[in-house]
Structure 1
Amino acid sequence: MISGLGEGWFLPQRAAAVSQDRPETVEPALKNRTEADPLHQASLPRRQEESALLEPAGAGPAEPPPVYADGYVLPIRWARLSVAAPGTVNQIYVEEGQQVEAGAPLLLLENKAQIAGLAQAQAALQEAEAALALLKAGAREEEIIQAQAAVDAAQARLERLLAGPTAEQIATAQKAVAVAQAQLERVRAGATPGEIAAAEANLKLAEARRKQAQARYDEVAWRSDISRLPQSLELEQATIEYTRALAQYNDLVDGPTPEEIRVYEAQVEQAQAQLAELTAPPHPADVAAARADAARAQAALALLQAGPRPEEIAQAQARVIAASAAVEQARAAVNHTVLRAPFAGTIGAIYTRVGEYIAPAQPVIELGDMRAWVVETDDLSELEVVHLEVGDRMRVTFDALPEQALTGVVTAIQPASELKRGDVTYTVRLALEGDAQILARLRWGMTAVVSGPENR
C-alpha cells in the first residue's frame, strides 16, 4: 500500500507566517509597529506587496511583485509505503539508502497461516475440477456392462420365480430327502454284525502293532537319546492307531446316541422343507420384491447411459469457479504479506523492526526516486499564486548551501487551496535544474527558498 505519494501535494508540516489582518487595515497596522520589532521586519515585504495590490485602479498598472516562499527538497517521485494486511514483521530485505528496482520485495510479514490457506484452496480447486471432469466424462464402458449384467440377473430371478421349479430341480430335492431319510434309518438301526466284526479285527491289528512297537522301544529305552530314536516315534503312532480303533469299536457296539440321531433327523427336516418351498407357488411379496429389483436395475442402467444432466454440469462448473475465486483470494492474502517497491528508487527511511506488529495504512518504509529533485512549497498565498504560471523559472536557494543557487521550473500549481491557520495557501511544485554538482549535494527534506519569477 502506498501513502503520501510524492506526485500529490504532501509536504512536511510547517507553520505558515501569513498575517490574518484584513487588507484595509494593513497600513495603520504597519505605522503602529516599530522597525526594531522582528515580527514587523519579517512581515513588512509581504505587507507592502499586499498594499500595492490593493491600490485603486486609477493609480496606473503595477508591476507584479516578486514571490518569496519556503519549501522542501523532495525526490521527483516518492511514497510512504504501508502493508495491505496487518501482521508481525518477519523479515526486512532492505536498508536505508539502498537502491531497489520496481517490484523488489522490501518487507515480509509472518505468513504461515496464509500459505496454508492457499494450499487448502488449491486442493479444493483440484477436487472441484476433478469432479467436473468426471461428470463430463460420463459412465465408463465397464460400468455400463456391469449395470446391464445386474439388469439381466434381476430379470432372470423374476422369470424363475414366475415360472416355478423345473423337473430337474424337483427331482434333485426329492433325492436329497430320500438320502437324508436313509441315513437316519441306518443310524437308528445301529451297526451290523459284519461292521462290528470288522471293527473288532481292526482293533486287534492295532493292538498287535502297538505291542510290537513297545517291544522295539523297550530294547533301547536305556539310552539317553531315546526321545530322538525312531522306536519312540513308532510307539507313539501305534498307540494313536490303537486308541482310534478302540473308539470306533466301542461306538459300533454301543450304538448311536440320542444327539447323533437328532442331527440326522434335522437333516431330513431341512431337505423336506426345501422340497416343500420349491414345489409351493411363489408368494406375492416375493414376486413384488423381484419386480422392484428388476426395475431398480433397469433405472440404474438408463441413468448411466443418459449421462449427466446439464444442471449437474452447471453446478459442478459453479463449484470450480467458486474454488478458483477462493484460490485467488488466498493468493492475494499471501501477496499482501509481502511489501514490494511500486517503482525503482532509494530507501529513504525504515519505520519498523523485525518482530513488530504493524497495521494497514501505517507507514513502514519511505521510497524515493532520487534521479531528479523537485521543490514543493505550500507557502504561497492567494495574492501570490495568481502571479505564477506553469513554466515560470524561479531562483531556488538552500539553507544548507547558502552560496549556491539553482533554477526551479514551475511544473504544477495546486488547483484547490488549503486553509492553514486561517490563511488560504496553495502548493506549487518546481523541477530543479542547474549545476549537476549542486544537484548531487541535495538531500531529501532540505529546506529551500524560492523567489522570482526570473523570466519576467
Structure 2
Amino acid sequence: MSDKSPSLPLAERVRKLKLPEDVDRTPSRWQNRLPWLLWLLTLAGCLLLLWRSWRDSSVPTSATAIRTESRAEPGQTSASQPGPAPADPNTVVLEALGYVVPVRKVQVSPKVGGQIIRLYIEEGQRVREGELIAEIDPTKYLHERNRRYALWQQAKARYELLKAGNRPEEIRRAEAAWQEAQAALRQAENDWKRTRLASRAATPEELERTESALQQARQRERALFEQYQLLRLGFRDEEIRQAEAEMLALEAAYRDAEYDLENTRVRSPISGVVLSKRADVGDMVLPNVPSNLSASICDLADLRNLEVDVDISERDLRHIRRRQRCEIRPDAFPQLVLPGKVTRIMPQANRSKASVSVRVGILLPEDVELLPDTRARVRFFAGLADDAK
C-alpha cells in the first residue's frame, strides 16, 4: 500500500518545525526568583530546627535545677544534693549486683623469721584476738637473748660501782699509806739535814745517798696523797655518765632480743575466721620474704562485720549518697532480706569499667552467716537509713 500524501522537500519540512517569529523567548519574573525562594525556605527550616533543639536541651536543665532547689532544706545548698531524689523515701532508685566482702581482712605474718614448729589453726576455725596460732623455732632467739642479758648485767654492775664510789676501807687505807709516806719524808729530811751539817765528816757518797732518799720520799708522798684524794673524791662525772649510757644501750639490745623471742609465738591480731592457710609445720617464714619462702601464715577476716562491694555506673552515681538506706538479698539465701546502708563511696573511679566502687554495710543478725565473695543484690532507696523506721 503506497503513501498517497504529497512528498515535501526537506527544506520545507524544516521550516515548518521552527517556532514562529512572534513568540516571546524572554524568561518570566517568577522564573528568575524561584531559586532564591527555595534557598530562603531551606535557611528558614534550618534555623527553626536549631531553635527547637536549643529549647529542648535548655528547658529540662533549668527545670531540674528548680526542682532541686525547691527540695533543698534550709541551710543547705543544692550542690550538697548528688542528684534529684524521689519524694517518697521508700522508692527504689537503683538496683545493682555486688559481692560480699569483710570490712577487716588481715594477713597474719610473723615479726621474726624461722621455721614453724607448731601450728594450731585450720581453715574455717574461729580464733579470738590474742590467741596463739603458731610457734616458730626459738633456739636462736633464746641464745641471743641470754647473751645480751649477760652484757647488760655486766654494764649495769660497772655503772653501779662507779656511782657508789670507793669503799670507806679503801679510803682509810689510802690515807694511812699517805700518812706513812709523810713520816718517811720527814725522816729523810732529817737525815739529809744531819748529813749537810756534818759535811766535813760525811763522804760525798753519803751526801748523795741522803739527797736521793729525800727525793724518793717526796715523790712517794705526793703519789700517795694524790691517790688518797682520788679515792676520797670518787669517780669523775663523765665516767659515770659514760657507764650509764653503755648500760642503757645494752639494756635496749636485751629488750629487743626479748621482744624477738616473744614474737616466735604468733598470735591472732583480731577475732575472726581463718579463711586460708599459707604455711604449714616445717615451712620457713620471713617478714621480708624472698621468692622461695612464705611471708604470711594465714588470712583472717571478721565475718560478723561484712559489706557489699557494688560497682555503680557513672551515670547512676547521682542516685547514691552516704547513709542511704538499702536492702541486701544474698544469692545464697534468696528469701533473706537484710537491711543495710551506704557506708563508703570510693574517691576514685575505675576508668576501664566507667564505674565507682560503693560499699554497703550489712546489719547481720546473729543467726545468719555469709561467706566472703558471694554475690548479693542491693536495692538503693531514696531515703536515709536513719529515716526508715
Corresponding residue SS for 2:152? helix
Please say if 1:139 is aligned against 2:140: no
The one-character-per-residue Cα deviations of 1:396-425 (angstroms, maximum 9, x if unpaired) are 2223233433232212222x21435x2344
Please say if 1:417 is aligned against 2:348: yes
Q: Which runs of 5+ in 2 are unaligned?
A: 1-55, 65-83, 87-91, 193-202, 289-294, 385-389
Corresponding residue SS for 2:319? coil
Structure 1 residues 328 and 376: alpha-carbon distance in aligned structure 2, compared to 1, 3 A threshold: farther
Please say if 1:344 is aligned against 2:277: no
Structure 1 residues 354 and 286: alpha-carbon distance in aligned structure 2, compared to 1, 3 A threshold: farther
The CA deviation at 1:281 is 5.8
The equivalent residue for 2:358 is 428
Instruction: Quote the Cα distance in structure 1 between the aligned partners of 2:265 and 2:350.
Output: 38
Structure 1 residues 57 and 66: alpha-carbon distance in aligned structure 2, compared to 1, 3 A threshold: farther
Please say if 1:444 is aligned against 2:377: no
The one-character-per-residue Cα deviations of 1:48-95 (angstroms, maximum 9, x if unpaired) are xxxxxxx94534657789434333223453322222333322322333
Corresponding residue SS for 1:453? strand
Instruction: Quote the Cα distance in structure 1 between the aligned partners of 2:57 and 2:287.
Output: 55
> 1:103 is matched with which residue: 118, 122, 130?
130
Instruction: Quote the Cα distance in structure 2 between the aligned partners of 1:452 and 1:132.
Output: 71
The equivalent residue for 1:453 is 381
Instruction: Quote the Cα distance in structure 2 between the aligned partners of 1:305 and 1:449.
Output: 87
Corresponding residue SS for 2:260? helix
Q: Which runs of 5+ in 1 are unaligned?
A: 1-54, 166-275
CA contact (8 A) 1:75 1:373 kept: yes
The CA deviation at 1:299 is 0.8
Structure 1 residues 435 and 150: alpha-carbon distance in aligned structure 2, compared to 1, 3 A threshold: closer
Corresponding residue SS for 1:417? strand
The equivalent residue for 1:334 is 261
Instruction: Quote the Cα distance in structure 2 between the aligned partners of 1:334 and 1:73.
Output: 39
CA contact (8 A) 2:124 2:273 kept: yes
Structure 1 residues 379 and 101: alpha-carbon distance in aligned structure 2, compared to 1, 3 A threshold: same
Structure 1 residues 75 and 326: alpha-carbon distance in aligned structure 2, compared to 1, 3 A threshold: same
- Aligned letter for 1:429? R
Q: How does 1:314-325 map onto structure 2 within 5 Å?
A: 314-325=241-252
CA contact (8 A) 1:347 1:367 kept: yes
Higher helix share: 1
Structure 1 residues 423 and 74: alpha-carbon distance in aligned structure 2, compared to 1, 3 A threshold: closer
The CA deviation at 1:285 is 4.3
CA contact (8 A) 2:131 2:267 kept: yes
Q: How does 1:267-416 map onto structure 2 within 5 Å?
A: 282=209, 284-360=211-287, 362-370=295-303, 372-414=304-346, 416=347
The equivalent residue for 2:149 is 122
- Aligned letter for 1:90? I
Instruction: Quote the Cα distance in structure 2 between the aligned partners of 1:343 and 1:127.
Output: 40
Structure 1 residues 81 and 426: alpha-carbon distance in aligned structure 2, compared to 1, 3 A threshold: farther
Structure 1 residues 429 and 419: alpha-carbon distance in aligned structure 2, compared to 1, 3 A threshold: closer
Structure 1 residues 418 and 300: alpha-carbon distance in aligned structure 2, compared to 1, 3 A threshold: farther
Larger deviation, residues 345-354 vs 97-106: 97-106
Corresponding residue SS for 1:126? helix
- Aligned letter for 2:299? E
The equivalent residue for 1:148 is 175
CA contact (8 A) 2:85 2:319 kept: no
CA contact (8 A) 1:99 1:347 kept: yes
Q: How does 1:44-59 map onto structure 2 within 5 Å?
A: 56=57, 58-59=59-60
Corresponding residue SS for 2:302? strand
CA contact (8 A) 2:114 2:286 kept: yes
TM-score by length of 2: 0.64
Aligned residue pairs: how many? 288
Instruction: Quote the Cα distance in structure 1 between the aligned partners of 2:265 and 2:329.
Output: 40
The one-character-per-residue Cα deviations of 1:239-285 (angstroms, maximum 9, x if unpaired) are xxxxxxxxxxxxxxxxxxxxxxxxxxxxxxxxxxxxx9x97862544
TM-score by length of 1: 0.55
- Aligned letter for 1:58? V
- Aligned letter for 2:174? A
Instruction: Quote the Cα distance in structure 2 between the aligned partners of 1:436 and 1:99.
Output: 15
Structure 1 residues 154 and 424: alpha-carbon distance in aligned structure 2, compared to 1, 3 A threshold: farther
CA contact (8 A) 1:162 1:282 kept: no
* Aligned Cα root-mean-square deviation (Å): 3.3
- Aligned letter for 1:430? V
CA contact (8 A) 1:382 1:424 kept: yes
Structure 1 residues 157 and 327: alpha-carbon distance in aligned structure 2, compared to 1, 3 A threshold: same
Instruction: Quote the Cα distance in structure 1 between the aligned partners of 2:190 and 2:364.
Output: 113
Q: Report 1 or 2 for greater relative contact order, CA contacts < 8 Å, sequence distance ≥ 6.
A: 1
CA contact (8 A) 2:327 2:338 kept: yes
Corresponding residue SS for 1:343? coil
> 1:67 is matched with which residue: 77, 90, 94?
94
Instruction: Quote the Cα distance in structure 2 between the aligned partners of 1:89 and 1:75.
Output: 28
CA contact (8 A) 2:85 2:382 kept: no
CA contact (8 A) 1:390 1:411 kept: yes
